[in-house]
Structure 1
Amino acid sequence: MKIKANYRILILMFLIAFPRTLVKAQGLDYTRVSISSPNSASLGKFADIPVNKHTGVPVINIPLYTIESGALHLPISLSYHAGGIKVTESASWVGTGWALNAGGMITRTVRGIPDEGVNSHKGQYGHYTNYGYSNYLTLTGDGGRTYDRFFETGERDGEPDLFTFNFNGYSGKFFFNDDRTAVIVENNDDLKIEANFRLANNGGILGMQQNIQGFTVTTKEGTKYYFGKHSTELPEAGYVYPIEVTRRYTFNNGLSSDVVFSSWYLTKIESFDRVDKIDLLYVSEKYSVYNIGLFPIFNVDQIQLQKGHELVRDYFDGVRLANITFNNGELIFKPGNVARLDLSGNSNAGGYGFTESVNTEAKALDEIEIRTHSAAIFKRIKFYTSYFEDQFGQLGAGLDRYTGSTIVSDKKRLKLDSLVECGSANERFSPYKFVYESSFLSRRLSLGQDHWGFYNAETTNTTLIPTITKNIYTEHYRGAKRDAKWPHMKGGTIKEIVYPTKGSVVFDFEPNKVYLNTVKHSLEYAHGFHVGMDGSYSKVWDNIQFTGNAKYQVIYRNDASEGIGGSQIASYNLKNKATGVTVSSVSVGAGETVTSTVTIPPGTYTLNMFRDSRNASTGAYLSFSKYVSADVQDPIVGGLRVKTITKKSGTGGADIIETYMYETNGRSTGYLYERPRYIQSLRNDVVKIYGFRSGEGVDNTPNLHPNGCLAVEGPNLSVPHMVAPYSVAPMSNYQGNHVGYDEVTVSYNNNAQGKSVYRYYNTNPWERETTKFAYTDVSFLCDPLAPNFPAAPIPFQFQRGQLKDEDHFDSEGKLRKAVTYLYSYDSTKVFTPALKVERGVLTEYTLRGYFKKRIETITTVNGSGPNERVVAIDTFFFESPYHRQMTKKSIDNSEGRRITNYKYAFDFRMPQADAISDGWTTYVNACQTCEIQHQQRTTTCGNDYNCIFRSFHQMRECKAAARQLYITRRRTNFTEQNSLYKSVFAGNKQNADNLLKPIWELHDCFTNVPIETVESKKGKTISAVFNRYAFFPSSSVNHVYPTGVMLLELSQPSSQFINSTNNNLNITLDTRYNEWLTLKFNNGRIVQSREKSASPVVYLWGYGGQYPVAKIENATYTEVLTALGGGSTPAHHSAATTILNNLSLSTVSEAMVNTYVQTIRANLQKSRVTTYTYKPLVGMTSMIDPRGITEYYQYDGFQRLKDVLDFDKNVLRNYQYHYRP
């Protein structure tokens, strides 16, 4: 058997740990590296750390402009994240802490090696490329056996990468299942995420063919968002794919050969019918950023040599946003003329390296120019920036050995000072001004960091590994001071925003505090002695007093002497005078120091010290320092929370002060999610069960690793440990934030205007660690409770951070309104298997997506009287297995219970297609069979542990084979382009009736709209609505639009209602449905509506389809076409269509609109015609009512409504703005 390859030699691996680390580091060690650029990281921060009261981070948003293009909307804004600036955090192109929301991005955290596999240094097989590790756990070339070492060396990928998205109000994380379908970690938005992989015509981009080139995300409305590359067409000359590549340079390996895409930016938004679109264009910019690279140390004795950190330089082939174009206009993003000083250049004259080079390409955003379709300037938004600068901070210890002290770019960080909006004639509004904390913001290459990466002003740190202790008192390694420090952590944080109205908002922050009962141990000097310096061989001290039964740190140092004979050995003996018991004695050689921890009972002691070969200038030194313990409650931890928000009117009005309190009963309500574990014994669950076995022959030796530690265990045997300057075990920050508060009280003007109390769901109390905020102590024996190594990601915690209760009180302290929230969650049926291998041992785990199934809100409103109390219970259900939308709403109040059921397009199922097996049950049964067979083989093996070990791997191979069959079936039946499901679906859709066929089309377009809504009370139906859809012409292709609304109109509640049902081809409805509204669409716009028993109304559209230019009452769309075309023949209607197309041009003029509409007025004299003209991006400029009377609208240079004029252009209304914004 060939299983022994990576198990038998594991102990040997610890002897060559450092070389193995270097071997893996030939590529980029993605598990401990952020490969996001500063711009993408600024957006990802909002997905990682929610902005809400639970985290103590206030919402700070500056709206700039909203793009409207038909059915599409894209708000442009600035967001500030006030959780604190971390030491290594780079500024985006709009300033430190700020993010420009102007499109969006998808970025990734690599797990294992990149999902594509072959784009990394040694990668051969990737999770996405090769459909999961089960497909290459065993290969023909492996002899049909599992060779886990390939996963450790980076040749095979065992884990799906984690992707983060943030665009147009959507944010979250996802990964790919091994059938290439995307799984959103936690989300109730129906998003379909597809990777664009190995599309043709790569445009000469390095690594394009090996990477995931882009993504297409479809929302429940059918709107598509495209990221990166999404087309097989060759790009136009000069086109830049909005994709970023990160490559790392290190001292040992030079520039990484990996070509891994790190971020994909939004490049296009398209409506479901392809009529409306928003395009985003980018330009390239190349630059680099110096960082502190972190790595683990597996040989604890080498901490002093390795330190666990090194200087690295990340080279970015990046992009920046240049233009956004839409139906009636364009936004131009103009960079400044001077390149940023807080970034470094992309290369040096002599090639890549650590020597600082000048950045010439990456620039700060200087201006956003908003233009109409005719290139006329609508308005401009000007950005004014400067820099935070650390003029005194020194380069972190050990980082200057590569370059000396020549690096200066990390000392600066871009700062947004103000922004000003300018009108079309260059009129200037008053600016937004931003004031920041004046306290020190350190350079990014500082080692003065707390446990969570915030600045703590510890300038003497030479490493980021904190002091490591053994059994609390024995100092194994004296390391960095990583405690959080106030006020140092708030450097560079926003303090005040002054608005154009002259009003302002002032923020006062304080450090995070968490509920914790811990003990801090400090050393207090007690005694000091020496021998030899005065020429004596020995000394005796006869009456030394020690009090308390305390622990002491004893340090004995023997300095070496040159030019004298003798052994120079030094020793001491400390003996209790009353009992004669020696409590401490040590003998050390020349030049040696011994540190020990000794418990010394109270009493009087005699100390004897001896030093051979006395010398007048050297000797032996002995010191005793007492460990003093102090209880610490609720210490500060890294990061900020808001304390007060003061809103000033700027016009002399009273301030509004919001005060935030995070305590109850004098204790913090904060819980610390991130508790870094800097050292742990290496322990593995598989080793605990099976030990280390060769897999060959017969082995009856009992398991020498009963607790799973990676060395032979025993009472006096030390086990291997892993030490690192970061947490060696995953922390509970999968959902981003490292602190969450159970209860937050917000008072308004010191309760004069009442207060509100918000409570949140958090980690279960019995799962909480309340005694430590970091793990730095070990016993060096095998700890059976040590986390499994290598560790799997922390499971998602469903309710963490969700609002639990909110109570609102008036100024007298009376509860006026209380709301309680109850949630239930579910997970995806299918899990994704993953594998991690490090140091020759493995961990297998699974991943799922999670979503809300039910939300219940209980609202109590108290009136002023004793019996004035109203209670309402609203329950929202999300129960469909086919989507995440609300399927039922239950309202309970004083009038009884009212239930509304919703049926969406995706709830209409095609029985023939759904009958196709997905293979899940077969797969689950096959895995159970693999486990049963393993149990049976284990029984047969008896005490032959090699046999049991082989059986374990046979079970893994069996499950991998079952997974391969399952994924193959999924691909064949569902996910491939020509799958059986798609074939069956297409056939039935083609033959379906006129009511069902459009619904099948909605399936294909991933448009999940409500179809039937049924409302009932006391078990009887009181109303129902059925929305009909049909095909209408749009962008040269027919698309599905609403064509009618059917109502169930009942005179009294009914118990006979029949919900809609369907088969493959037909829908059956309740026969009492009646048509209430009919609709017609053309090219994505509604052109006719008609309510029951009412006259039809026609709408004509212009200005790129953005605005209605005519409303025609008492005419049909066909009659309007006849009137416009001069007749009813197809040729006449074709001519009318040409006219309508002219009206829809972005360049349509007011005269053209009035000319065409006048034709309609003349030919449809029984109709009522209203005409509208517009100034695109601004508003309506005129309206002609059915009487032919015109009203005009004029705007100022800031595009605000100024005057309303009558038909003679006399002023009817004038608007005055008494401040200059």
Structure 2
Amino acid sequence: MFKVYCSLLITCFFTVLAFGQPSSPTDIEIKKIIPPTPNAASLGSYGNVPIGLYTGQPNVNFPLYEIQYNDIVVPINLSYNYSGLKVEEYPSWVGTGWTLTGTGVISRQVRGLPDETTAGYNGSERNGLKTVDFINSGGNVSEFSQFLNGVRGGDKDAEPDIFVLSMPGHSAKFFFDETQCNTTLKQAIVIPHQKLEIVGHFNYELPYNIRMGIIEKFVVTDQKGIIYTFDITEKAAGVEPGDQEADFASSWYLSKIETPNNNVVTYEYADRILDMPATVFERRYIPIIDGGGPVNPGDAYSLTYNYTSTNEKILKRIRFRDGVIDFIEGDERLDWAFSYLSNKASEKPRSLSRMKVTIGGKVVKEIKFTYSYFGNDARLRMDSFQEMNGIEVKQPYVFSYKDGLFPTIGQESSLFHQDHWGYYMGSTSNGDLINTLIPPFSQSFQKPDGSLLIINVPGNSRTPNLNYSSAGLLEEITYPTGGSTQFEYESNYYRGSTQSQFNLCSGDFQFVAKSSVSFSWGNPGDTKEFTVTNPTCIKFEYSLDVPCIDGEAGVRIDEMGGRPIMYHIVQNKMAGMDYSDYGPDEGDVFTLEPGTYALTAWGINENTCGSPTEATITLNQIFQSPSGYANLRAGGARIKKTRDCSDDQNCIIKYYDYTDPDEITQSSGVLINDPAYFYLQSVIWDQNFTPTYIGSSQSSIPIASTMGGIIGYKSVTVTDDDLQANGKTIYKFSSAAEYPDEGSVDYPFPPRISNDWKRGAQLYRKDFSDTQIISNLIDGYCEVPTYNRQVGIKTKKLSDYKSGEYNVTLNDFDFVPYSISTGWTNLCSRNHLEYSYVNGAQQEMISEKDFFYENPIHQQVTRIETTNSKGEQLKSLIKYVEDVASLDGLTPEERVGIQAHPNKLAIIEQQQFNGASVVSTTRNIYNGPKLSKVQFATGTNQLEDYVNYNSYDNYNNVLNYTTRSGENKSYLWDNNGMFPIAEATNANHSDIYFTSFEINGVPFVDSNGNNLAISGTSVANSGSFSFPGSFQPADPSNTLMSYWYWQNNQWNFSGEIPYSNTITTAASRLDEIRAFPKGAFLTTLTNEPGIGTTSVTDSNNQSLHYEYDLLGRLLLVRDHNGNILKEYKYHYQGQN
């Protein structure tokens, strides 16, 4: 056998595996059918919001409702994901930073042409020369020329589109390669590799606007056999006249979920044409000629605003069996106030006002959302949400945020006010209004005569500024209980090399040197030398005071060779003060190359006037390690401190430290890659080839994210107080330090291979009590690459032209191929070291586990080997549906039934070993989606049937099972197959019957409104009843029946009497009618959909009733006679 090294993608699931392995027949778990007895409703938990330590982001999530079937749960949640104010990140319909989950969408990034169009990467013309053929053409000039000309002219497509999937329980990226061009049903390549089958349905015969070719839908099947259909399209287009040719489907929304047990969830959407805020793109050409300017300056810079609209899809309704969830919008939003002259939109977006759950025609839950706005109607803000139903209202969840300045949505000037990551950085820099996104450019070149050509082009430093980007961060959650959670933030930092120049000036400054003079007469000077060993950022402060006529004072920084870097001089003349300045000003941040420099303060005063002449300059630089690394500030915020409080006196405080525990002055943060705003190109200016730097406002290499964050932290230390007196926990994670992205970083900047699916895994967790380690959990991971091939090309111009006439030929173009790679990763080893201390001596206990994945088809753990702290060698072998070929002793029918099971995660066999000895074997036999039997054996004995599941209904609910010990249990379910209404012991399913008239009966209450029904809340409004023809007991003579009848103003029990298919009494009402074989015991239940169990009647026909308020909270438990056994009252802090 071989040990497979495995791995997953976009959201990577690093799963801790645990299996309950029965060691004796009594340990075999039988499906639990009857729900537990109702208990008091929780007032709702508070605090303990999990923090994503690898990215430093809080994972705020509020469950709103769950659609529950017997083989799927679809959660509807409100989640918060906001690390700071981004200029071009706009609020959803539930407010800034908030997202409503529970539906699904596939969106795409078009590369080149849309894949499905005639000339697209997977279009109808792709039966000819493909991209991979072109890459391997081996110098066929004719095909080379034809293909390359087609790509650069927009007539051919050389790159696959990238699709992003988000749906309940799964997220991934995927694409379609060129191996399936001859079919309209295309199997996607999933990144990272996971057990998802994604099929794109291409149709080349139907047009999308004026172009042929559409993707009709995507069908996704997960490992449990659940099918998700995405066929509701959303498209984006420009807003200018005649732009329909640019229209293409940009998103496909989830419309249906279908499960193997015939459960269905459907989604409905409304449409709205919506104008989107403008985007901006700048380009600048910087020729390398004396003076640094082009021959034709008008061609040196271009600015373009782009305007688009979208046919937005708004979730309107989710339908499930006998239920519906409605999403009700409120008024038009005030933060969408911009407009275009040629706009298409007829409406503004709206906020989500309410979410209403209706089951069986009755509203069981309603959630109201309350909003206001940040700034001057700048961004939608969720203030609170609360659950209600009729007059019953729970206390709300209330949110508080950090205040600040908020750029107005659609304001074009604010587009320039972004740092490298897109976060808001304010509108000014050093007092000047920012009006570009292109960073500054500075290069020096050796000229033929040996002199230096220095080119400096000003720009936007795009340095992160948390004072602005922190606006809108969630600072406090107040829970319905009165408890709260508070968040304190700080800037993201990463360990950056000063050699890269990127973001170099965003670190923390420290004092370097100070020069000063103060005198009444003479010409003193104070010079301090300082050395820069790596490129570093400098800023200074100075003050000059020249009170006497003809006095003079100044400060300066010079290279040791004499070239000035800057100076500032003040002269006091008869006519007034005279100023002379060169270079950077006070507070400006600028870069110094390695070398030795002089910092000088000086003055001249030959006429005393009673006041001293003074000059002072203080120099600060970015703190660097000797090896040339600095802690550099990245965009956005991370969690610094959390405070969970039940009240003002009872709080749990946690602190988060992201420095490297081995180098405590260094951040453990890792940036995935530097951006690339400039590249060198040969450009023709007036028919002369000139080396030219081409810069743009968007990086040609986007700064990659990692696990949803912008920085990944290798180490995080969590303490319960800032002095660590209560101990601490140190976590270590895999990061881009070990798993960087791969690929070219040069022009034409092909897409890089992302290795993010390997990052963010917890490598160890060390727990300390005060200063002593008490536990160390060490995890090891393994990887399996599954796909790596060249799929696309990026063309590049060998030269460009800006002025003059020039005919482009083939020799002016080249190309760079690029690959896409994926794989999967999983936990492969876990060592747990526990420490104790006796008389100061450390004692260690070690347990070790190894996990093996020996079937790459299903990627599940197949073997677990454990060495416990006693030194015992334990082993578990696990087989799944796709391992059925390796099982012995199956009948042909059993083998076929297991193979037909749609849930490929289902375990079909588990074996437990102690050393080399088999302890036990458990085997599950399936017939399609249904479990038919459970077999068990101890040691090496033969497997025996211990549980047989004999029958199911249409929704695969269990109707009957029997056990080896003689137990025979049967179940009845409600009409929707959602809830069990009867459990019978010692009876077959076809021999039992029960009704409490909950569906077709009438309510029965006294004059005070108290329920009088024996079970549930309804009764038959008659004294007669006929059993339905579908009930045909196998032996009527061996069948008993019972019922309750209302006569003489009271309930009377019939007793257990011989069965008859009709009941005739003089009573006015009937309830709790049962039929069952002699010797059987029957327990019955009633249920209110969306609320819970309303009554349980035991085999002695004694009932317990459960009463709820409109919010579904248990209020009363009554006995058979209506006496109150338990009463619950719910009180929230602050309520009267």
Structure 1 unpaired stretches of 5+: 1-43, 230-240, 392-410, 527-543, 556-573, 575-595, 605-624, 683-708, 770-783, 912-990, 1031-1038, 1055-1070, 1137-1150
Q: Would you say the 8 A contact 1:514–1:669 is kept in 2?
A: yes
Determine the C-alpha separation between the residues in 1 that align with 2:94 and 2:859.
36
Q: Would you say the 8 A contact 2:237–2:246 is kept in 1?
A: yes
Alignment of 1:1088 with 2:985, yes or no, is no
- Residue 270 of structure 1 aligns with an amino acid whose one-letter code is E
1:741 maps to which of 694, 698, 713: 713
Alignment of 1:805 with 2:805, yes or no, is no
Determine the C-alpha separation between the residues in 1 that align with 2:622 and 2:995.
91
Structure 2 unpaired stretches of 5+: 1-9, 14-49, 181-185, 288-292, 446-452, 499-534, 543-555, 568-581, 583-591, 601-616, 625-629, 798-812, 997-1024, 1037-1052, 1054-1060, 1064-1069
Q: Would you say the 8 A contact 1:285–1:317 is kept in 2?
A: yes
> What does residue 44 of structure 2 align with?
none
Pair 1:80–1:525, CA change in 2 (3 A): closer
SS at 2:882's partner residue? Answer: helix
- Residue 491 of structure 2 aligns with an amino acid whose one-letter code is P
> What does residue 1204 of structure 1 align with?
1117
SS at 2:246's partner residue? Answer: coil
Pair 1:909–1:387, CA change in 2 (3 A): same
> What does residue 421 of structure 1 align with?
387
Determine the C-alpha separation between the residues in 2 that align with 1:467 and 1:1073.
75
Q: Would you say the 8 A contact 1:245–1:261 is kept in 2?
A: yes
Q: Choose 260-269 or 1117-1126, whichever is displaced more.
A: 1117-1126
CA deviation vs aligned residue, 1:384-413 (integer Å, no higher than 9, x gap): 112223x5xxxxxxxxxxxxxxxxxxx722
SS at 1:831's partner residue? Answer: strand
Determine the C-alpha separation between the residues in 1 that align with 2:1062 and 2:915.
58
> What does residue 654 of structure 1 align with?
650
> What does residue 899 of structure 1 align with?
875
Question: Per-residue deviation at 1:167?
Answer: 2.0
- Residue 251 of structure 2 aligns with an amino acid whose one-letter code is S
- Residue 225 of structure 1 aligns with an amino acid whose one-letter code is Y
> What does residue 669 of structure 1 align with?
668
SS at 2:751's partner residue? Answer: coil
2:796 maps to which of 821, 834, 838: 838
Pair 1:1163–1:485, CA change in 2 (3 A): closer
SS at 2:422's partner residue? Answer: coil
Residues 526-925 of structure 1: matches in 2 within 5 Å? Answer: 548-549=560-561, 551-552=563-564, 633-650=630-647, 652-663=648-659, 664=661, 665-682=664-681, 719-733=691-705, 736-750=708-722, 751-764=724-737, 787=746, 789-797=748-756, 799-810=758-769, 812-829=770-787, 831=789, 833-839=791-797, 840-852=813-825, 854-863=827-836, 865=838, 866=841, 869-895=844-870, 896-908=872-884
Alignment of 1:1049 with 2:962, yes or no, is no
SS at 1:820's partner residue? Answer: strand
Question: Per-residue deviation at 1:504?
Answer: 1.1
Determine the C-alpha separation between the residues in 2 that align with 1:790 and 1:521.
28
Between the two proteins, the alignment pairs up a number of residues equal to 883
* Identical aligned residues as a percent: 24
Determine the C-alpha separation between the residues in 2 that align with 1:347 and 1:603.
54
CA deviation vs aligned residue, 1:1029-1067 (integer Å, no higher than 9, x gap): 12xxxxxxxx531101122222xxx5xxxxxxxxxxxxx
- Residue 458 of structure 2 aligns with an amino acid whose one-letter code is R
Bigger share in strand: 2
Determine the C-alpha separation between the residues in 1 that align with 2:886 and 2:964.
32
- Residue 815 of structure 1 aligns with an amino acid whose one-letter code is I
> What does residue 245 of structure 1 align with?
235
Residues 1027-1038 of structure 1: matches in 2 within 5 Å? Answer: 1027-1030=924-927
1:190 maps to which of 187, 195, 201: 195
Question: Per-residue deviation at 1:1093?
Answer: 2.0
| TM, length-normalised to structure 2 | 0.70
Pair 1:598–1:430, CA change in 2 (3 A): closer
> What does residue 257 of structure 1 align with?
245
Determine the C-alpha separation between the residues in 1 that align with 2:652 and 2:319.
41
SS at 2:373's partner residue? Answer: strand
> What does residue 329 of structure 1 align with?
323
Pair 1:298–1:517, CA change in 2 (3 A): closer
2:1078 maps to which of 1165, 1186, 1189: 1165
SS at 2:1122's partner residue? Answer: coil
Question: Per-residue deviation at 1:765?
Answer: 6.8
Determine the C-alpha separation between the residues in 2 that align with 1:1175 and 1:522.
71
Question: Per-residue deviation at 1:491?
Answer: 1.0
2:919 maps to which of 1022, 1040, 1065: 1022
Question: Per-residue deviation at 1:757?
Answer: 1.2
SS at 1:422's partner residue? Answer: strand
- Residue 793 of structure 2 aligns with an amino acid whose one-letter code is L
> What does residue 627 of structure 2 align with?
none
Question: Per-residue deviation at 1:304?
Answer: 7.7
> What does residue 1107 of structure 2 align with?
1194
| TM, length-normalised to structure 1 | 0.66
Pair 1:280–1:765, CA change in 2 (3 A): closer
CA deviation vs aligned residue, 1:1116-1164 (integer Å, no higher than 9, x gap): 234448999999999948999xxxxxxxxxxxxxx9xx99999984441
Q: Would you say the 8 A contact 2:332–2:350 is kept in 1?
A: yes
Determine the C-alpha separation between the residues in 1 that align with 2:1028 and 2:90.
66
Alignment of 1:214 with 2:217, yes or no, is yes
Pair 1:276–1:602, CA change in 2 (3 A): closer
Q: Would you say the 8 A contact 2:11–2:707 is kept in 1?
A: no
Alignment of 1:451 with 2:323, yes or no, is no
> What does residue 380 of structure 1 align with?
366
SS at 2:151's partner residue? Answer: helix
Question: Per-residue deviation at 1:1022?
Answer: 2.1
Pair 1:545–1:426, CA change in 2 (3 A): closer
Question: Per-residue deviation at 1:547?
Answer: 6.8
Pair 1:1160–1:428, CA change in 2 (3 A): closer
> What does residue 310 of structure 1 align with?
304
Q: Would you say the 8 A contact 2:439–2:459 is kept in 1?
A: yes
> What does residue 84 of structure 2 align with?
84
Determine the C-alpha separation between the residues in 2 that align with 1:628 and 1:135.
57
Question: Per-residue deviation at 1:486?
Answer: 2.8
Question: Per-residue deviation at 1:331?
Answer: 1.0
Question: Per-residue deviation at 1:764?
Answer: 3.3
- Residue 861 of structure 1 aligns with an amino acid whose one-letter code is E
1:340 maps to which of 333, 336, 353: 333
Pair 1:728–1:993, CA change in 2 (3 A): same
Determine the C-alpha separation between the residues in 2 that align with 1:598 and 1:818.
44
> What does residue 458 of structure 2 align with?
478
> What does residue 347 of structure 2 align with?
360
Pair 1:1122–1:209, CA change in 2 (3 A): farther
Q: Would you say the 8 A contact 1:271–1:277 is kept in 2?
A: yes
> What does residue 442 of structure 2 align with?
469
CA deviation vs aligned residue, 1:119-174 (integer Å, no higher than 9, x gap): xxxx55537984863478899x9965552232233322222222222222322322
Q: Would you say the 8 A contact 2:750–2:793 is kept in 1?
A: no
Q: Would you say the 8 A contact 1:732–1:794 is kept in 2?
A: no
> What does residue 1077 of structure 1 align with?
947
Q: Would you say the 8 A contact 1:552–1:600 is kept in 2?
A: no
Question: Per-residue deviation at 1:1097?
Answer: 0.6
1:495 maps to which of 469, 475, 485: 475
Pair 1:1193–1:836, CA change in 2 (3 A): same
1:285 maps to which of 272, 287, 290: 272
Pair 1:384–1:1085, CA change in 2 (3 A): same
Question: Per-residue deviation at 1:368?
Answer: 0.5
Q: Would you say the 8 A contact 2:972–2:989 is kept in 1?
A: no
- Residue 210 of structure 1 aligns with an amino acid whose one-letter code is G
CA deviation vs aligned residue, 1:932-976 (integer Å, no higher than 9, x gap): xxxxxxxxxxxxxxxxxxxxxxxxxxxxxxxxxxxxxxxxxxxxx
Determine the C-alpha separation between the residues in 2 that align with 1:1014 and 1:820.
26
Q: Would you say the 8 A contact 1:298–1:723 is kept in 2?
A: yes
> What does residue 894 of structure 2 align with?
995
SS at 2:380's partner residue? Answer: strand
Question: Per-residue deviation at 1:1102?
Answer: 0.7
> What does residue 269 of structure 1 align with?
257
Bigger share in helix: 1
Q: Would you say the 8 A contact 2:536–2:593 is kept in 1?
A: no
Pair 1:1117–1:711, CA change in 2 (3 A): farther
